[in-house]
Amino acid sequence: MDARWTGTIALGVLLLAACTSAPGGAGNPDPTTDAPVVGEAPGGAASGDPVGMDPESAAERAEHLGIEDLPDVEPIRNIAPDGSGLRVLAECMADKGYDYTMDPSGEAVNIDLQGFSEEQHNLDTYICEMQYPVETRFRGENGEREWRLIYDHFAEEYIPCVREQGYVVQPVPTVESYLEGIRAGRVPHTPVTEVWDQVQVDVDAGRYGSVDEFHRTLCRDTVDLDVLFPAGER
């Protein structure tokens, strides 16, 4: 069987321009660590912002993709960083000749890169992301308000839910120590990492289809992006 070269667009990629700044402007927790996913947008296409990515963010994205000669791209509409936004980007890539499949979790798209060079794929990715940029409010920095909402969700909703399902999880620290750690640049506490392997055991036993399914349908591990970043406040 021939191996196929594939790429992936994930929800995290849609927030590539976002920064997770600490309250008060100190420290930047590394978004590739166990820091909690900031949220999930409930709807389809985003609205309320001028269409298009700001030039600085566009230039940073181009640099990340290794694109030196930037093409002129006319933005079409903003998208939300959710499953519908992923599908919009995937359809844009399909229009350029790529085949794709949606991951069963709905949180990633697998792009078949067969027949395309890395340079061409990066350029096509850039063009699609500029045509369909994530709405600005979803790319904002986390401040103390956002971190408190994330903390409250874990303490008041997520932890009680997973305990009710029989999983063992430690309580979150006090909100004061939680925020103090973020200000110091430490990775925020997230109970999701404690629960993941426990849920995976039940996934293997057939209780759930996947850990992501457990989190989507039973115990939400995210805060809605519309709650974290209300329209008109960014």
Of 199, 206, 205, which Cα lies nearest the Cα of 167? Answer: 199
Q: How far apart are CA 113 and CA 115, in angstroms?
A: 6
Tell me the torsion sign for CA atoms 94, 98, 101, 103: negative
Whether 179 and 144 have beta carbons less than 8 Å apart is answered as yes
Q: Residue 104's pLDDT is what?
A: 59
Determine how many CB atoms are found less than 10 A away from the CB of residue 112: 16
Which pLDDT belongs to residue 96?
96
Last residue of a domain, one of 139, 156, 191: 139
The maximal CA–CA distance of the chain, rounded, in angstroms, is: 55
Considering the domain architecture, whether residues 12 and 123 belong to the same structural domain is answered as yes
Closest C-alpha to 20, from 31, 11, 10, 9: 31
Q: What is the mean pLDDT of residues 58-78?
A: 91
In this prediction, residue 232 carries a pLDDT of: 54
The answer to whether residue 175 sits within a structural domain is yes
- Kindly report the average pLDDT of the chain as a whole number: 76
* Structure tokens given for 143: 């401040």
> For the chain, give me the number of helices (H) and strands (E)?
10, 3
126: confidence class by pLDDT, cuts 50, 70, 90: very high
Q: How does DSSP classify residue 224?
A: B
In this prediction, residue 214 carries a pLDDT of 92
Within a domain: residue 233?
A: no
pLDDT at residue 107 in the model: 62
**Is the same domain home to 109 and 20?**
yes
Closest by CA to 87, choosing from 111, 64, 65, is 111
164 and 134 in a common domain:
no
149 and 221 together in one domain: yes
In a domain, 184, yes or no: yes
Last residue of a domain, one of 89, 123, 139: 139
Burial 116-150 (b: 16+ CB within 10 A, else e): beeeebbbbbbbbbbbbbbbbbbbbebeeebbebb
For 11-65, how does the pLDDT look when each residue is reduced to its tens digit (9 = 90+)? 545 544 333 333 443 333 333 333 333 333 333 344 455 677 888 888 988 998 9
DSSP 65-112: HT--SPPP------B-SSHHHHHHHHHHHHHTT-EEEE-TTSSEEEEE
Determine the pLDDT at residue 73: 94
Answer yes or no: is pLDDT of 101 > 80: yes
What's the number of domains the chain is made of?
Answer: 2
Whether residue 103 sits in one domain with residue 28: yes
Are residues 107 and 15 located together in one domain of the fold? yes
Instruction: Tell me the range of 9-13, 109-113, 217-221 where mean pLDDT is highest.
Output: 217-221
Tokens representing residue 154 in the block: 């874990």
pLDDT at 84 over 70: yes
pTM of the model: 0.53
37 and 131 in a common domain: yes
For 183-219, write each residue's pLDDT tens digit: 887 767 788 889 989 999 999 999 998 887 898 889 9
CA dist., res. 164 & res. 157, Å (int): 11
Q: Based on the domain organization, do 120 and 223 belong to the same domain?
A: no
Domain that holds residue 206: 144-228
Considering the domain architecture, whether residues 123 and 45 belong to the same structural domain is answered as yes
Nearest one of 231, 218, 220, 216 to 106, comparing CA atoms? 216
Q: Are residues 33 and 114 in the same domain?
A: yes
pLDDT the model gives residue 32: 30
Return the closest-CA partner of residue 103 out of 14, 7, 31, 18.
7
Classify burial at 111, counting beta carbons within 10 Å of its beta carbon; exposed 0-12, middle 13-18, buried 19 or more. buried
